[in-house]
Amino acid sequence: RTLSATAMRTRTPYITSHERIEHPQNTKLFLDNQFLESKATTWMDLHDPATNNIVTRVPQSTTDELAAAVDSAARAFKSWRKTTLLTRQQIMFKFVQLLRRDWDRIAASITLEQGKTFADAKGDVLRGLQVAETACGVTTQLTGELLEVSTDMETRCYREPLGVVAAICPFNFPAMIPLWCLPPAIITGNTVVMKPSERDPGAALIIAELAKEAGLPDGVFNIVHGTAPTVDFLIEEPRIKAISFVGSDRAGKYIYTRGTANGKRVQANLGAKNHAIIMPDSNKSQALKAIVGAAFGAAGQRCMAVSVIVTVGVTKQWISELVELAKNLKVSGGFEPDADLGPVISPQSKARIESLIQSAADEGAEIVLDGRGYNVEKYANGNFVGPTIITGVKPGMRAYEEEIFGPVLSVASVDTLDEAIALVNANKYGNGVAIFTSSGSVASKFQKEIECGQVGINVPIPVPLPTFSFTGNKSSILGDLNFYGKAGMHFYTQMKTVTALWRSEDAVPEGFSVNMPTQK
């Protein structure tokens, strides 16, 4: 089976195995509803993380191509913003249907390019699809405000689109994060230039194809490719009014700082270090199973992965059972039906994760389950790291301070809930946190005192459904308006207030006033 140009553009066939692709095709640009071959001189090989075989080549879009994408989006904005909300809603209904129809196809592209298991990739798609489904309710979500402020006078508030907006996406959720951005941006009347991760752009391209099939007019959604040069172009381009970024701290701080300095609205979700606190009164089996899934699922490459557990008191003794559960996880190519976790994204990432594991040992922690040098017989060249558990981890250690972004769970142990809360609050990140307890009062105290944006109570990965927003906190976020939900709608719209006076001829007063109108 080969990834033919047809496979990129039609529903079948698509690849569902890690077999070598005989004739890898280049990844296309998506401009004005057309898939185009780039004229790039720089190309990046994209490898299947399970085998390191080449899947495709991704272009560094040329300056002309980047300018053409913005031209296209700017042109489209003029007419797209004039379409009625109901027209956009109908396209979104259709888009949602098509995402469901091609759910497996998008997921397969993710498994091939990103490495996560097919079942997990389906979750990646569904979490994005739910944002699109929620966007269908725009007709009630975008209602404004109105007040009769004076006799015959009313003030009305509208939310209007910004114009051309950009989305810069990370590798770890190739469908979900593009879909955090696209549906709320277009349903509110904006047009989009998206740069998916250069490491796995395939899912975004399928999404583009489906958006076109759903009836999205030319230029409303465009996809460009590349790394820093593409990002620099988007940051400097004055016609781009807002940037949605999800990714690492380094890139995010840069994009936020330069983007806002250039007058753009920027929302940036950054790195994380998510703790789960295990209280002695928790349901042991429930807590340990939840933690194994949350720590090792997606090979730990989720921004909401649990990467540290904090045992309180006696629960320190539960770690041996956790190790047994983790040992039983099946590590393999993501298309293998029994795989629990797949490879990490690249050999460089594997090397970085393994060096962080070693650093913990060097700094006095104990590796009680070591996933380094993990051998998956069928996929000898893959970037596999087995589940790893490190006890005795303390603040100050590299493995605690840095985001590992791999299947590595650090264990810190304290004696009281207060100490656990203090430990979490001292961490610079504030993306997600969880507590396992059977006590309502413990949960209540925790919820109030914890400085973290997304709190799980007996829920290990508390990512809110899109009725709400993704609410990271502290160093895990830059910008004021969160992704999706009400805040997402607000990010992609600017307010306009209209004050209107409709007075009958005979009620027009004589004379005039030069004083500040007070609308008494």
Closer CB to ligand NAD, 170 or 386, in the complex: 170
CA atoms within 13 A on the CB side of 305: 24
Q: Which of 228, 380, 495, 498 binds ligand NAD (CB under 6 A)?
A: 228
Q: Does 170 bind ligand NAD (CB under 6 A)?
A: yes
For 437-489, where are the E strands, in sequence order?
Answer: 454-457, 473-474, 477-478
CA 208 to chain centre: 17
- Min dist CB 248 to ligand NAD, Å, is 3
Q: Any contact of residue 198 with ligand NAD (CB under 6 A)?
A: yes
Shortest distance (Å) from residue 403 CB to ligand NAD? 5
Confirm whether 136 is a catalytic residue.
no
Q: Is 233 in the site for ligand NAD (CB under 6 A)?
A: no
Catalytic hit among 136, 169, 181, 303? 303
Sign, Cα dihedral of 498, 504, 506, 507? negative
Contacts to ligand NAD from residues 44-73, by CB under 6 A: none
Binding to ligand NAD (CB under 6 A) within 349-408 occurs at 403, 405
Stretch that binds ligand NAD, among 59-67, 129-137, 265-273, 326-334 (CB under 6 A): 265-273
Residues 6+ apart with CB under 8 A from 476: 269, 270, 271, 272, 303, 429, 430, 431, 453
Binding of residue 269 to ligand NAD (CB under 6 A):
yes
CB under 8 Å to 349, separation ≥6 — which residues? 383, 405, 406
CA angle 275, 279, 280 (to 5 degrees): 150
Nearer Cβ to ligand NAD (303/389): 303
Residue 197 found at the interface with ligand NAD (CB under 6 A): yes
Contact between 454 and 462 under an 8 Å Cβ cutoff? The reply is: yes
**Which C-beta is closer to ligand NAD: that of 301 or that of 315?**
301
Q: Work out whether 106 is an interface residue with ligand NAD (CB under 6 A).
A: no
Binding of residue 247 to ligand NAD (CB under 6 A): yes
Would you say 411 or 461 has its CB closer to ligand NAD? 461
Shortest CB 235 distance to ligand NAD, Å: 8
Calpha distance 464→217 (Å, rounded)? 31
d(CA 201, CA 44) in angstroms, rounded, equals: 12
Give min distance, CB of 393 to ligand NAD, in A.
19
- Under the binding rule (CB under 6 A), the answer on residue 205 touching ligand NAD is no
By the 10 Å C-beta count (0-12 exposed, 13-18 middle, 19+ buried), 437 is classed as buried
Residue whose C-alpha is closest to residue 127's, from 148, 154, 144, 107? 107
Residue 246 in contact with ligand NAD, rule: CB under 6 A: yes
CB of 301 to ligand NAD, least distance (A): 7
Q: Rounded to an integer, what distance in angstroms lies between the CA atom of residue 266 and that of residue 491?
A: 9
The residue with its CB nearest to ligand NAD is: 247
Told to check if 260 binds ligand NAD by CB under 6 A, we report: no
DSSP secondary structure letter of residue 492 = T
Q: Which residues of 82-104 are buried (b: 16+ CB within 10 A; e: fewer)?
A: eeeeeebbebbebbbebbeebbe
Longest CA span, the chain: 92
Question: Least distance from C-beta 227 to ligand NAD, angstroms?
Answer: 5
Choosing from 90, 227, 438, 458, the residue that interacts with ligand NAD (CB under 6 A) is 227
Q: Does residue 168 interact with ligand NAD by CB under 6 A?
A: yes
We find the least distance from the C-beta atom of residue 168 to ligand NAD, in angstroms, to be: 5
**27 forms part of the interface with ligand NAD (CB under 6 A):** no
Pairing of strands 34-36, 306-312: unpaired
Active site residues: 303
Chain residues in the site for ligand NAD (CB under 6 A):
168-173, 195, 197-198, 227-228, 231, 246-248, 251, 254, 269-272, 303, 403, 405, 431, 470, 472, 476
